[in-house]
Structure 1
Amino acid sequence: MKISMPALAAELGLLGLVAGAYAVQATLRLQGEEAALRAEPVLATAVARRRWILSHLVMALGGSAVVLASGGLAAGIAHGLRIGGPVGQGGRMLGAALVQVPATWTLAGIAMLLFGLLPRLTALAWAALLAFALLGQLGELLQLADWVRDLSPFAHVPRALGQPLDLGPLLWLGAVTAALLLAGMTAFQRRDVQGG
């Protein structure tokens, strides 16, 4: 059974949403630590707020990249075994999965911004993930306007399978993510930590 390139791209799109869910969950671990009153004792020691945040963000950003890399590699090997060339397909699918890293990191940026500014509304990060999933999966079917579908960071991920890679959208997503992360970190450093 041969699988078409659009079907493989759709599979990788779903993998991007899974990695995005991981990025949100790992970033919102910060809020969980604060709500459980474990953040204040840690931050009362020599651990700086920025260092504490960065330790969580490394796991969120790095972990989501690992999810994409391992999923892309596994999908490539499986596809390659079906068509008789697992080595070449593994690398190809790995690259196609990794182009989604900036979009998944944007979700971590949204979660960080909410945690820093509005810690009681961090559930909106999950709402953003759901909205992006619906826009990506149903936007064309519902004939939504392009500008509505473009609200999702995943709409800007280049379809790397069989096409030249355009780095422009990835750089823009990276810049947006950096701005969201920095704004969230700055906001957290200026607000009180929930204590006992």
Structure 2
Amino acid sequence: MLVFWNARLVFLSVPKTGTTAIEGAFAPHADMVISHPPELKHAPLYRYNRFFRPMFERACKVEDMETLAVMREPISWLASWYRYRQRNFMQGHPNSTHNVSFDEFVNAYMRGDKPAFANVGSQAKFLEPRPNGTRINHLFRYEDQSRLLNFLQDRIKQKVSLERRNASPRTQLDLSPETLKKYQRKFSAEFDLYNSIS
């Protein structure tokens, strides 16, 4: 999470959406950089609403902070998790996707009782508006990096360049038509939200 005080902007870091690169580039210009623990670094909107928004409003007397986040195309997002958990250091870990095909991973993700390796959360849930009206004010597609970069540079009035960081290894990503169709049906909220980004 990055907080740009003068720009009245809070960047919420959705996992697996290039947040490491964004934070690396913009952290020097941020007033608050929350990089640990992961529960705060990747605080979803509901956690921001519960803890950080009240702090800004009550302690700092500021009520006009806006939120920014990035969303990745849903299949690409799962693929990124799958690849990340294929890294060598994950060998033997319950979250490892070694010896698991991408199709098996997506099917495991769709289960109610997800195994550890497929328990990766939900972008739609991360970004879900709160009953009090708190929402993501500026939502960008991961695949449109130039638009995101231009917005951030204009908002904080700083020129920066992004470097690729935390890249996962390339691997085979075969998904059967049946699995794809099931995923699109069961997780339509993910696709609806992504497709609503203009």
Shared fold, TM over 0.5:
no
Structure with higher strand content: 2
Structure with higher helix content: 1
Q: Normalising by structure 2, what TM-score?
A: 0.29
Task: State the structure with more CA Rg.
Answer: 1
Q: Normalising by structure 1, what TM-score?
A: 0.29
